[in-house]
């Protein structure tokens, strides 16, 4: 069975702080894809990144970076120098090749960046 | 490029009434998904279409929920009769194809409140 755990329900930081959102996943499939989405108060899920199971290179995009570690089944997301506009709920999601192939989401982490 | 469109954005109904939601995917996307997102949780897949055929409806409560995508483009999700526990955000997503590596792009959602 596939499962995504985001243990941090809510995080509150002050602007310009760095913050890391944790994501731990479970799957028995060897080929799978991991995603991060951002859900601002408007409600729309905004795609941030996709990673496949064969690519463990870390990714950096501006203030965002992702650390994928198969050894610990984790795909953590770091925001550097956080801004108020980063306030949102962030979801980690997993989709395996083979099996049900559904996109399975974690429960999300609500990030509040205070000025 | 236009994103996924959904309407209405908000709907309030009384239990046992019926309601319908509409979704228009990104142009050229063959795969369309409907998700249910209950407050405080991640989205859960209800049904997946590939063109006008159903790929996965294993989590759709078929006694009250129905969905169609007759011409392989836009789609309608219906609830009849609604229950209190159907209060949620209904998200539509689309992807170019159906594979697990495909990124799903989400619409703004329809917030349903059942009284």
pLDDT digits (tens, 9 = 90+) for A41-98: 988 999 999 999 998 888 889 999 999 999 999 999 999 999 999 999 999 999 988 7
In angstroms, what separates the C-alpha of B110 from chain A's closest C-alpha? 9
| Dihedral angle computed from the Cα positions of residues B67, B31, A108 and A111, in that order, rounded to the nearest 10 degrees | -120
What pLDDT is attached to residue A65? 94
Note the pLDDT of residue A97. 84
Q: What is the mean pLDDT of residues A32-45?
A: 93
Distance CA B115, CA B111 (A): 13
Please tell me the predicted confidence (pLDDT) of residue A100: 66
Give me the residues paired with residue B99 across strands. none
DSSP three-state, residue B86: helix
B34 has pLDDT over 70: yes
Tell me which chain B residues have a C-beta less than 8 angstroms from the C-beta of A106.
Answer: 42
Contact A37 B101 (CB under 8 A): no
């Amino acid at each position: 069975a596939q499962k995504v755990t985001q243990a941090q329900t809510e995080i509150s930081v002050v602007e310009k702080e760095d913050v890391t959102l944790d994501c731990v996943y479970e799957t028995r499939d060897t080929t799978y894809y991991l995603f991060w989405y951002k859900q601002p108060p408007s409600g729309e899920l905004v795609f941030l990144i996709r990673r496949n199971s064969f690519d463990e290179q870390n990714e950096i995009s501006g203030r965002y970076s992702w650390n994928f570690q198969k050894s610990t089944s984790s795909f953590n997301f770091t925001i550097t120098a956080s801004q108020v506009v980063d306030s949102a709920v962030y979801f980690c999601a997993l989709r395996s090749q083979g099996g049900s192939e559904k996109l399975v989401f974690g429960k999300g982490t609500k990030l509040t960046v205070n000025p | 490029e236009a994103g996924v469109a959904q309407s209405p954005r908000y709907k309030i109904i009384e239990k046992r009434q019926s309601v319908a939601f509409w979704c228009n995917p990104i142009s050229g996307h063959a795969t369309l998904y409907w998700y249910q997102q209950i407050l405080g949780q991640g989205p859960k897949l209800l049904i997946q279409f590939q063109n006008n055929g159903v790929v996965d409806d294993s989590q759709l409560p078929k006694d009250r929920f129905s969905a169609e995508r007759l011409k392989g483009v836009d789609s309608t999700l219906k609830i009849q009769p609604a229950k209190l526990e159907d209060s949620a955000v209904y998200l539509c997503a689309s992807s170019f194809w159906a594979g697990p590596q495909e990124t799903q792009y989400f619409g703004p959602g329809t917030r349903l409140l059942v009284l």
